[in-house]
Amino acid sequence: MNLLKPHNVPRHVAIIMDGNGRWAQRQGEARVFGHHSGATRVREVVETAGNMGVDFLTLYAFSEENWRRPDDEVNALFSLLISYLKDEVERLHENGVRLKSIGNIDRLPPDCQEWLRLVEQRTGNNQGLTLVLALSYGARSDMVRACQSIAADVQRGFIQANEIDESLIQSRLSTSIMPEPDLLIRTSGEQRLSNFLLWEMAYTEFYFTPIHWPDFSKEDFATAISVYSDRERRFGGLISP
Ligand code: IPE
Ligand code: IPE
Ligand code: MG
């Protein structure tokens, strides 16, 4: 398939992969069926993003609030994640993808943590797309952790309170491993952030689509990139005539 490469490809794309459950239920299937189909889309979008020259792709796979879901669904999501990591590790490696994770990883089931570590190690030296999985991630708690670590340093006398600036705060967030997202895509028609990358998205361009994640194709991804490439980003300044 020949997906046209727009002139202005975002360096970092973040995606809230939403709508799996509704997509399945609409067809009379269990929600988990939607998560399975969604995993296929992850494979495709990772490949397409890499081919288009995106440097960072951050996928919101499980929020801190998603722990409120029934145990069955949570367990199914984590076994799906393990299958994805097992099945994809060599393909990711061959394609030069480097896997990273953000979020409260300690809360994940131990086998899941183990697989994440393994794939992160295996792909750690790759130079292509960086794929960041946000797992048990919540932007507010990430900011709380950053504040705690800065406060501890102030208490020990390592830094003065008046030395705290934006770059210091940024450096203590789990997202310090990546640039700020240029483009956020959210599928399924919902138009909210659901506690995703609140600090980092101060100047991100938003793209909302009614398509549910299991239907979100390579072409839909390319459309989002092309809409982004026509946007005018001002960052509070003025565009020169
Ligand atoms: C997104 O789909 C996947 C996760 C949140 C893990 P949902 O499971 O939220 O699907 P809907 O929004 O209920 O349809
Ligand atoms: C956000 O989707 C989290 C992920 C996609 C992983 P949710 O479906 O959990 O968000 P809300 O509850 O509709 O805001
Ligand atoms: Mg949802």
The predicted pLDDT at position 5 comes to 65
Q: pLDDT tens digits for 33-50?
A: 999 999 999 999 999 999
Q: Tell me the CA–centroid distance for residue 181 and ligand 1, in Å.
A: 22
- Ligand closest to Cα of 186 equals 2
Look at residue 73 and give its three-state secondary structure: helix
The predicted pLDDT at position 3 comes to 57
Query: What is the average per-residue pLDDT within 19-26?
Result: 98
Query: What is the average per-residue pLDDT within 134-153?
Result: 98
Tell me how many helices (H) and strands (E) the chain has: 7, 6
Strand partners, 205: 183
Mean pLDDT of the chain: 96
Q: pLDDT tens digits for 73-82?
A: 999 999 999 9
Q: Which two tokens stand for residue 27?
A: 């067809």
Q: Where are the domains of the chain?
A: 41-209
Distance between CA 168 and CA 181 in Å, rounded? Answer: 18
Q: Tell me the CA–centroid distance for residue 16 and ligand 3, in Å.
A: 9
Distance between CA 127 and CA 50 in Å, rounded? Answer: 11
Strand partners, 137: 63
Q: Is the pLDDT of residue 2 over 60?
A: no
Nearest CA to ligand 1 atom 3: 18
> Known catalytic residue: 215?
no
Distance between CA 24 and CA 161 in Å, rounded? Answer: 51
The predicted pLDDT at position 1 comes to 46
- What residues line ligand 1, using a CB cutoff of 6 Å? 17-22, 62, 66, 77, 188
Q: Is the pLDDT of residue 158 over 90?
A: yes
Nearest CA to ligand 1 atom 12: 19
Q: Which two tokens stand for residue 118?
A: 């393994």
Distance between CA 134 and CA 198 in Å, rounded? Answer: 13
Confidence of residue 7 (pLDDT cuts 50, 70, 90): confident
CATH number of 41-209: 3.40.1180.10
Catalytic residue among 2, 51, 55, 66: 66
Q: Tell me the CA–centroid distance for residue 110 and ligand 1, in Å.
A: 23
Q: Which two tokens stand for residue 165?
A: 């600036």
Distance between CA 100 and CA 169 in Å, rounded? Answer: 20
Sign of CA dihedral 114, 123, 130, 87: negative
Distance between CA 18 and CA 212 in Å, rounded? Answer: 6
Q: What is the DSSP letter of 157?
A: T
Q: How far is CA 170 from CA 85, 98, 166, 173, in A?
A: 29, 22, 6, 5
Q: pLDDT tens digits for 205-241?
A: 999 999 999 999 999 999 999 999 999 999 999 976 6
> Known catalytic residue: 18?
yes
Q: Which residue has the higher pLDDT, 3 or 49?
A: 49
Distance between CA 106 and CA 143 in Å, rounded? Answer: 17
Strand partners, 186: 16, 208
Q: Which two tokens stand for residue 123?
A: 């792909």
